[in-house]
Structure 1
Amino acid sequence: MARRPLLVIDGDSFAHRAYHGLPKTIRRKGDRAGGAIVGFANYLLRLWQEEQPRAVVVGWDTLAEPNWRALEFPDYQGGREYDDDIVDQLDILPEFVAACGFLSGKSARFEADDFLATAAAMEVKAGGTALVASGDRDAFQLASDKVTILHPVKMGEIARIGPAQVRERYDVEPAQVPDFIALRGDPSDKIPGARGIGEKTAASLLKRYPDLEAMLADGKFEAQADDLHLYRRLATMVTDAPLPEIPDMVPSWDKAAALARDWELKALSERLEQLAAG
């Protein structure tokens, strides 16, 4: 039998998507917000049931202190503000992941992105394949013959992104995505990009040159070289985030159901109980 894939999930991406997509009337014990928990759980269960992975790793940001990118570039993601209700739920979602029998990656100075890249690299090195679920297009840099990106789009659809789909969307290779971001910039992360360079020009340059280094060696962007090196580094998902070996996992839906009951999330607990029974 072929080895089942590893499922790697961007926890913050799906929790934020759920928080903004579900009614704020979903409450848990103590009249605290519960929509992000329920919505994230729905995504997790859907992905588990559809993909039947051998194991699940969920990557998380650490909001309490700056990550390595913000330390190198203080403007990184500058101005982002989060409602107390989403922060409260992000704090306890790793507990739910653990109750399901799965692994969370969360550590000071690393972002969720880095845990996604690390887990995928570990799986490929071990001879397996990985499915990386993220709403962040930065993850397209991970696409390969061994790594498929599961990218949520409209109406609950999840697109499967491989190298061909990256080329179709951006006209660059997956490995060029960090160079592309460095040149074009990324407003959501407050990465400025090269002056006067937009998406089409960035892609056309990466047709002529394999990467940013080749452009700089040819004398382009000489006055911006240091900045562009930094932007590319910020856009690159690193593969040295602290993760243990990833064994095969059997879900503990009964424990997750008990936790959901304790949080007084009745519909979620009932769904988990059904999974545990079936």
Structure 2
Amino acid sequence: MPDLRHPHVPTRRALSGQASATLVGARMSVAPLLLVDGHNLLWRAWFGFPARIRSRDKTRDVTGVFGFFALLRVAIRELPVAPEVVVVFDGENAWDERTQVDPSYKAHRPTDDEAMAPIRSLADVVRGLDELGVRQICVDTAEADDIIASMARTCRSQAPRRDVWIMSADRDFHQLLDERTRILNTLRRPGHRVVDCHEVEARFDVTPAQWCDRTSLVGDPSDGIRGVRGVGPITAARLLAGGLTVEELPDSGRLVGKVGERVRDSLPDVARWKQLIRMRATHPVPAGLVVRSPTPELPAAPRVLDLLDLW
């Protein structure tokens, strides 16, 4: 199991005896909630393995299913305490609301057969989650980001002291971080896989609450958001210093020079991009989806494939 060294979060391996009991008693009376960005993990599983994984008779490519459960198992075992796991998938019409705001939203992403190949594994992944008792949710008209944001917000209001983890490589989740909400990104090297609100502030010079403001200025090619020409991370941090939002920039006295003029001229676009980036934390969480108890430990990926008769 990889060793997760982080100043704020010790791993299960690092916890033992009295120290472990103290932490569990003080902070973990309820199992932490691990929210998994399902499509993000599936795409990583399909494209991230150095060699294809095939069934024993070599007739099926099972890389997506194998990788999904292998990576999920690793992530779960890195957390300090066994979590309650909920996997969240994008709905089939997830982008509709945002493309009404901006038709170019994610329009650049390829949709050919090769790019969409991971989706062929989705049905078996869902079947595997059901078999293992891992709860999942998919809302037809919602992106996984918005459901995860809604679940994190609901958890924060109903169980303020419960830790929430988000498993994803998507930096848009930086906007959700607080003292008890963290990101687990297993794409990063061991010891650096936890992203918390302190890292965001130290690395980017903005708070999580300003993440949408920063991204609307700097841009995000993965979502087709081009940002303001000439505004990079340093300029964005300077403009937003002190907790300012993009809406407050026109009266801040900071929009000076050529860059300031470009920002001022781009403010309608910036406002639209911020609307696209901001997660909608308003979706109701279905009753029974979160039960506040740990998910049973997952078997190794080959065992999952055996259970699904895919090996």
Q: Give the TM-score of the pair, scaled to structure 2.
A: 0.75
Which has the larger helix fraction? 1
Q: Summarize the alignment of residues 207-218 of structure 1 with structure 2, pairs less than 5 Å apart.
A: 207-208=241-242, 210-218=244-252
Partner secondary structure for residue 70 of structure 1? helix
User: Partners of 2:163 and 2:247 in 1: how far apart?
Assistant: 30
Matched, 1:175 2:178: no
The structure with higher relative contact order (CA 8 Å, sep 6+) is 2
Question: Which amino acid is 1:114 matched to?
Answer: D
Deviations 1:45-100 (A, max 9, x none): 12223324442111212346634222321111112125243111134423322322
The Cα shift of 1:170 comes to 1.2
Tell me how large the CA RMSD over aligned residues is.
2.7
Structure 1 contact 140–177 (Cα < 8 Å) conserved? yes
1:140 maps to 174
Q: Which residue of 1 aligns with 2:63?
A: 35
Do the aligned residues in 2 keep the contact of 1:166 with 1:173 (CA within 8 Å)? yes
CA separation of 1:168 and 1:162: change in aligned 2, threshold 3 A: same
State the number of aligned residues: 265
Distance 1:33 1:157, change over 3 A: farther
Partner of residue 196 from structure 2, selected from 162, 168, 174: 162
Q: Secondary structure at the match of 1:116?
A: helix
Distance 1:257 1:41 in 2: 9
SS in 2 for 1:237: coil
Whether 1:7 aligns to 2:34 is yes
Task: Report which stretch shifted further, 215-224 or 159-168.
Answer: 215-224
1:97 to 129, 144, 159: 129
1:118 aligns to what? 150
- The unaligned stretches of length 5 or more in structure 2 are 1-24, 256-262
CA deviation digits over 1:169-193, x for unaligned, max 9? 2111111101001111101111121
Identity of aligned residues (%): 28
- Within the candidate set 275, 283, 295, 1:241 is matched to 283
C-alpha distance 55-138 of structure 1, shift in aligned 2 (>3 A): same
Structure possessing the higher radius of gyration over alpha carbons: 2
Please say if 1:21 is aligned against 2:48.
yes
CA contact (8 A) 2:182 2:195 kept: yes
Maintained 8 Å contact 1:6/1:53:
no
2:85 is aligned with 1:85: no
Which structure 1 residue ranges, 5 or more long, are not aligned?
Answer: 267-278
